[in-house]
Amino acid sequence: MRTAYSVETVRAAERELMARLAEGALMQRAAAGLAAACADLLGRVYGSRVVLLVGSGDNGGDALYAGARLARRGAGVTAVLLAPERTHGAGLAALRGAGGTVAGSGAAEELILRADLVVDGIVGIGGKGGLRPEAVPLAGYAADSRAAVVAVDLPSGIEADTGEVLGTAVRADLTVTFGTHKPGLLIDPGREYAGSVRLVDIGLELPEEAELEALQHADVAVRLPVPGAESDKYRRGVVGIAAGSARYPGAAVLAVSGALRGGAGAVRYVGPAADAVISRFPETLVSDQGPARAGRVQAWVVGPGVGDDASAVAQVLEADVSVLVDADGLRLADRSAVRARTAPTLMTPHAGEAAALLGVSRESVEAARLASARELALRYGATVLLKGSTTLVADPQGGAVRVNPTGTAWLATAGSGDVLSGLAGSLLAAGLSALDAGSVGAYLHGLAGRLAADGAPLGAHDVAAAIPEAWRDIRDALR
Ligand SMILES: NC(=O)C1=CN([C@@H]2O[C@H](COP(=O)(O)OP(=O)(O)OC[C@H]3O[C@@H](n4cnc5c(N)ncnc54)[C@H](O)[C@@H]3O)[C@@H](O)[C@H]2O)[C@@H](O)CC1
Ligand SMILES: [K+]
């Protein structure tokens, strides 16, 4: 499991650790890790041109000490100081002692454009409210330069706790982060600014429960349902799919295609698209009765392509089994009916749907994904899977939010969400909690999307067809 902790938690752990260590020891650990990462990126340190962007805090101190280490190995290191009178004094002395120099801000553009490496130590976890105006041009020069850009702890200008980007931020090729990932490094839009992320262990002791967690192959593998010797189709779980309409039969077919690959023993389809479903997937059990009379299931998926069939949504919400609500279902679901449920509920909006449910703009959901997912979970008393470039899953009772690491932009294709609904609903029917079904479903779906796309456009049905390959790939992590 990859975890991320909030600034407040990191600060507390740092205080505790600093009290036990010699003055400056922690910063030396950070700088050593940073310098090593820079050296790896440069390949040849000797003779390289390195520019340090140095803000007024310890983030700048890290950059200066790392710069001193690179200067000692023969790099030409120049520091651009944003606040010369408030620069980390000992760090600056170390840089000078190692042969590094300081340039005035007038020389910054020229230096950055000619550099091999730019180290962004403008601001770290002490930053708030986006880049200050004097730092904004530096981010621009770094973006225009052919130099590799390494962010210290996090790209300056992104909000560490949320991944929000307020105005301009530094775009890094590599972020070297200390002690733990910060939430903003794993959530868009901040994640896109971070490039690849390298974690340097500085010995922080962090609490059990993280702010954010990202499942990895091994975490998913142990959660995948596996039929036992005693299993039959009913014991493996039956998932009911209430989806599709005369106008949108394809949504039903795609939801079923995901559900068939998600671990349930049988898929029961209810709705007006039964013919389309059967002709594509003859193994589906179909019914033209409403969900309330369709026979026993262990979980329901309701919503993809149902149009205005509010009755199907209401019937499903009354069922005493796990329910996944998606697409049209989100619009039609009565909030008090969702809140009144005692069995688990998983809602799967994309940013636009989440915005409608919260009564805010789509942009504000996209800018603050973590807060939006949490808020929605609280309001509805339901687990919320917020789809997007970084899919998040939040439980209503709090706890670590799951962030999906397998997403790919190729998944932004019509019908892809219907496949995810069926898949995650099938995992619910197989007995996974709403949090696990949502996060394991998103992980499988993302990986299937990557495997199916392999760098080329794909259709949603390709994603569904690639789920078994993704499943095997993950399962093999346990071998
Ligand atoms: N505290 C520790 O134990 C350690 C801290 N380390 C480093 O220290 C950093 C935190 O240092 P600080 O607490 O000094 O804080 P920062 O260096 O992150 O930033 C604080 C300084 O930046 C200025 N600032 C705030 N917002 C800004 C903005 N939007 N634009 C420009 N300047 C802004 C403030 O005036 C303040 O002087 C970490 O991110 C990490 O890089 C590491 O050395 C590891 C050990
Ligand atoms: K930084």
Question: Domain holding 263: CATH number?
Answer: 3.40.1190.20
317 in the same domain as 189: no
Q: Which atom of ligand 1 is nearest to the CA of 157?
A: 29
Residue 105, pLDDT score: 85
Query: Rounded to an integer, what distance in angstroms lies between the CA atom of residue 256 and that of residue 243?
Result: 9
The last residue of a domain, from among 184, 214, 244: 214
Q: Are residues 181 and 263 in the same domain?
A: no
Distances, alpha carbon 143 to alpha carbons 146, 149, 332, in Å: 8, 8, 45
Which pLDDT value is given to residue 458?
A: 94
> What residues in the chain have per-residue pLDDT under 70?
none
CA distance 320 to 335: 17
Q: Is residue 419 located within the same domain as residue 472?
A: yes
Which atom of ligand 1 has the smallest separation from the CA of 132? 30
Name the residue at shortest CA distance from atom 17 of ligand 1. 57
On whether both 198 and 266 belong to a single domain, the answer is no
Q: Which residues, 6 or more positions from 228, have their beta carbon under 8 angstroms from its beta carbon? A: none
**Complex-level ipTM beyond the 0.85 threshold:** yes
3-state DSSP call for residue 2?
Answer: strand
Ligand 1 mutation target, pool 29, 59, 180, most atoms within 8 A of CB: 59
Ligand 1: atom nearest CA of 27 is 43
Helices first, then strands: H and E counts in the chain: 20, 18
**Residue 17, pLDDT score:** 96
Question: Which range marks the domain in which residue 472 is found?
Answer: 217-478
- Whole-number Å distance between alpha carbons of 270 and 275: 11
181 secondary structure, DSSP code: B
Could you report the per-residue pLDDT of 159-206, keeping only the tens digit for each?
Answer: 999 999 999 999 999 999 999 999 999 999 999 999 999 999 999 999
Query: Per the annotation, does 182 bind a ligand?
Result: no
Does 128 sit in the ligand 1 pocket, CB within 6 Å? yes
Strand runs (DSSP E) across 401-453, as ranges?
401-403
Query: What is the number of alpha carbons within 13 Å of residue 89 lying toward its C-beta?
Result: 2
Regarding the beta carbon of 451 and ligand 1, being less than 6 Å apart is answered: no
Q: Does the Cβ of 14 fall within 6 Å of ligand 1?
A: yes
Q: Are residues 104 and 29 in the same domain?
A: yes
> 56 in ligand 1 pocket by Cβ < 6 Å?
yes
Choose one of 214, 233, 253: the last residue of a domain: 214
Q: Is 153 annotated for ligand binding? A: yes
67 and 191 share a domain? yes
Q: Any binding-site annotation on 305?
A: yes
Report every protein residue that has its C-beta within 5 angstroms of ion ligand 2: 120, 151-152, 156
Residues 237 and 147 in one domain: no
Domain tally, the chain: 2
Q: Are residues 288 and 396 in the same domain?
A: yes
Q: Does ligand 1 have an atom closer than 6 angstroms to the CB of 127?
A: yes
Q: Is 120 in the pocket of ligand 1 (CB under 6 A)?
A: no
Do 187 and 301 have their domain in common?
no
- Residue 124 marked as a ligand binder: yes
156 and 236 within one domain: no
Q: For residue 97, what is the domain's CATH number?
A: 3.40.50.10260
Angle at 215 between CA 210 and CA 216, to 5 degrees: 130
- For the Cβ of 393 lying below 6 angstroms from any atom of ligand 1, the answer is no
> Which ligand has its closest atom nearest to the C-alpha of 194?
2
Q: Is 237 flagged in the annotation as binding?
A: no
252 and 193 within one domain: no
Among 9, 58, 134, 180, name the best residue to mutate to test ligand 1's pocket (greatest count of ligand atoms within 8 A of Cβ).
58
Residues 206 and 312 in one domain: no
Last residue of a domain, one of 214, 235, 263: 214
Give the tokens for residue 55. 């803000």
User: Looking at residue 227, what is its pLDDT?
Assistant: 86
Q: What pLDDT is stored for residue 320 in this prediction?
A: 97
